[in-house]
Chains A and B, each alone.
Chain A
Amino acid sequence: MELYELTALELAGQLRAGAVTQAEAIAAAAGRIAACQPGNNAFITVADSPAPAPALSASPLAGVPMAYKDNLCTRGMRTTCASKILGDFTPCYDATAVERLTAAGAVSMGKLNLDEFAMGSTCETSCYGPAKNPWDLTRSPGGSSGGAAAAVAAGEVWYAIGSDTGGSIRQPAAHCGVTGMKPTYGSVSRYGLVAYASSLDQLGPIARSAADCAAVLELIRGRDPRDATSLDLPAGGLLCALTGDVRGRRIGLPAECFGGALEPEVAAAVRAAAGVLRARGAVVEECSLPLLDYAVPAYYILACAEASSNLARFDGVKYGWRAEGCGSLEELYRRTRTEGFGPEVKKRILLGTFVLSADCYDSYYKKALQARARLKAAFDAVFQRYDLLLTPVAPTTAPRLGEGLADPLSLYLSDIYTVPANLAGLPALSMPCGFDRSGLPIGAQLIGPALGDLAVLDAAHAYQQETDWHRRHPDTPAAAKGGDAL
């Protein structure tokens, strides 16, 4: 087995045992990156000389090469958000998650490609060119954490940190056949994450397994005095608590998630995943999650509104790129923002500005906040009867490059399964559960109640004891066959 086919925990184990040295691990990552980058463009910035972890610490992931989505501030390394408007902005501070991982011995290989300012579902709005799906380089890896999912899938790094506002960790994880998790809102400090939609954004891990995700998550979560929305959570307590035991767990399959534009192959793979969990003792049955149709419009209203405010600070005054030759302040603002932002970002800013306008506030923004309250209540009711929900992650597998952008509205609608967890602040994870006839990965989503992150990870861990979808690799002959849905 190649080093890059190991999980992060397995690699860490080998590093601790001395079977692999730190230098070898870094060299392996660098080698993979050099080989894959021209094809999949997963990275925006590759670290020149990745710093090895200082004397392997006791952390379970010490010494493992990884990378950060490029909307996370990294001190001394350029942070672009895949946008022209940030230029070569180099923060003088680390995001809290970066600080914590560095302290735990993470070795950063660089910054990963994304949709500009995390706005998108295909990683095609990046000003550095799209990232591509390692399973089929003519296709999108998903978005907005497309580069992160691609890099992990291709074996360039053993895990990555992405951000998820409407599905941006889970959907690319599904399209790339890897495991990705968005924890309960507030679990991970947002300090240093360039904000898209403050009440929806969360950081989370993308890796080869749920166990890996648990190991990463417990290193980065917990109260941060610099983020007033961060939760007081105990240190650790995830990895060691994984049992893989789902006997008696009540898992609901919301009927509303299995209709409409959902591709039959995707539906079949997710139902098969339900079968695996049932075989391991979980009680799996159909349930109802009402109000699902309202989630996408509510999400886009709230996300665009908050984004229009969060992105107002990019004005060419304090950092980043500034349009040349501006004779007045107004020209400076206008030209910098017009020329510095891409079309999708500008559209969302205008949409957000619209829904916050004085004459629209009540019927759009306030209405969306109320819809959010009702959706949260609907989830609370469902979680009275069920421990977890199992749904698809996206209606289709990875689209071809260029296809997604053709019809923006359809693209927004494809977020139908992922945005509800962001609106309600719930933990949700995407795990590989098969391939379609074209050999493209399919993901299944587990959603838990607030603070139910362990239950979500454990159910995924149980599933991954029984299956090996999550270990498939695009370069490995067995996976190239495709069409292996159970």
Chain B
Amino acid sequence: MNWETVIGLETHVELATKSKIFCACTTAFGGAPNTHCCPVCTGMPGALPVLNGKVVEYAVRAAMALGCTVTRYSRFDRKNYFYPDLPKAYQISQLYLPIGRDGTVEAGGRTVGIHELHMEEDAGKLIHDPWTEQTKIDYNRCGVPLIEIVTEPGFRTAEEVVSYLEWLRETLQYLGVSDCKMQEGSLRCDVNLSVRPAGSDTLGTRTELKNLSSFKAIRRAIGYEARRQIERLEAGGRVVQETRRWDENKDASYPMRSKEDAQDYRYFPEPDLPPLELSEAYIQALRASQPELAAAKRARYQAVWGLGSYDAEMLTSQKALARFFEETVALGAEPKQAANWLMGPVLAQLSAHGLEARDMALTPPTLARLIQLVKEGRLNRNTAVRVCEAVFETDGDADAYVAAHGLAQVSDAGLVAQVVEQVLSANEKSVADYRSGKEKAFGFLVGQVMRQLRGQAAPAVVRQVLLEQLAEQ
């Protein structure tokens, strides 16, 4: 029997706003427990939610990028249930009128439907203390804005799922709406999986997989669950609809205590928040100012500046890197040069310092200046790379550094001629070798001249003068 795996995803993304969705507490990650809280996000009596306008903007941008129809008239609803990380005992979410619907995403060779995208608030964090048999509750994360993106059951393999998530992460980063760091929890994924005989139209019973904290976990959990369901069905059993928790250490999933059968969230419209009615003007303004996404940039870099696809991929691998590249080019640097510099020395420096592009101090003007200095012959490339390393951490002034360390390239033909003369007279054997046809001797002589000039000469000029003097003799 051939089986087909059918997968749908529910992804929660933390939005990168400064303040929470319904109050002015900070969304900053970390922070001592319960220090980013107020009566609103801790569910104190009499506290009321007020919606952060930026959350709406980010949600609409995300919806647009996922090809969704943006719901003009949308609303919030209360989802009622008891759990200690939910201080009001209800979560303000959107059920009936989510802000985005019926989108499409193409990633990893598959087109997947986006069922809906909606805004909601995050819950707090629970820390179980095994010593005291108590649970500690930290409400810092309570009220951080989330968008939940629900796909149709359109995936068939773990790889497709991962491709979609990579696309999603890149897209949301490029939109600026989230930093999508799985390790910090700003991107969380639950997988819904069922199996069916290949060729069948109906969906099998699905299970929901939670606690997937990396792409690796996602791949393994999908593989495990598909196998588990197939084995059970082949043995004549049934798949139970349940929620299962992935355990990385045991490389297996276990059923979570089933709250499902008793659970009735009793959704009803949130009376404390007036509805949203988004105008055409608002939608158009966001559409017009939608940041350019990675794919579009890649296409543009290749079409307009003739970069190769590998270079384009590398430059757009981080949004900050792409922006750096574009700004450097805008300052006059030749695109291929700028690309080489970024992919070479700059990426090397980032790696050496363990930084991401958005965190580096170096700025486009500084890089553009270095490229300019090399172009003008004022600095040779090797030296320029050294200068770059030196000024990288503080975005120091390149010219000042060059002057302070006397690194300016020697273009003075007279000085070069002098040094060449000295080298030739001090290396008669090599001269003789050269004349007798040994090419390597020429390189040796170039090297000697460069040494004398402490590397600060344009190699082309040195070769030129050497050739001239050798020819004269």
B residues touching A (Cβ–Cβ < 8 Å)? Answer: 39, 42-51, 78, 80, 82, 84, 87-90, 135, 137, 264, 266-268, 271-274
Contact = CB atoms under 8 A, between A and B. Distances in A.
A315 B84 CA distance: 9
Contacts of B47: 191
B264 A358 contact: yes
Contact of B268 (A93, A227, A356): A356
Given A228-B49, A305-B268, A315-B82, A93 B44 contact: yes
Interface residues of A, number: 43
B120 to A, nearest CB: 16
Nearest to B38: A93
A301 to B, nearest CB: 11
19 contacts: A72-B46, A89-B45, A91-B44, A93-B44, A195-B46, A198-B271, A198-B272, A225-B50, A227-B48, A228-B273, A228-B274, A305-B268, A313-B43, A313-B45, A313-B88, A317-B137, A318-B44, A319-B45, A361-B267
A312 B268 contact: no
Q: Which label, helix, strand, loop or mixed, suits the secondary structure of the A interface?
A: loop
A19 interface: no
A467 interface: no
A308 B264 CA distance: 14
Contacts of B42: 318
B44 A309 contact: no
Nearest to B50: A228
A313 B87 contact: yes
Contacts of A361: 266-268
B82 A357 contact: no
Given A193-B46, A329-B135, A309 B80 contact: yes
Q: Which label, helix, strand, loop or mixed, suits the secondary structure of the B interface?
A: loop
A390 to B, nearest CB: 30
A190 interface: yes
Contact of A228 (B46, B266, B272): B272
Nearest to B42: A318
A435 interface: no
Q: Which 6 A-B pairs have the closest CB atoms?
A: A312-B89, A356-B266, A199-B271, A198-B271, A192-B46, A194-B45
A333 interface: yes
Nearest to B273: A228
A312 B82 contact: yes
Interface string A359-380: 0010001000000000000000
Interface in A75-134: 79, 81, 86, 89, 91-93, 95
A191 B268 contact: no
Given A305-B268, A361-B268, A226 B45 contact: no
B84 A91 contact: no
Given A73-B45, A226-B48, A318 B272 contact: no
A89 B42 CA distance: 15
A312 to B, nearest CB: 3
Given A228-B48, A353-B266, A306 B89 contact: no
A191 B46 contact: yes
B46 A95 contact: yes
B39 A318 contact: no
A328 B67 CA distance: 46
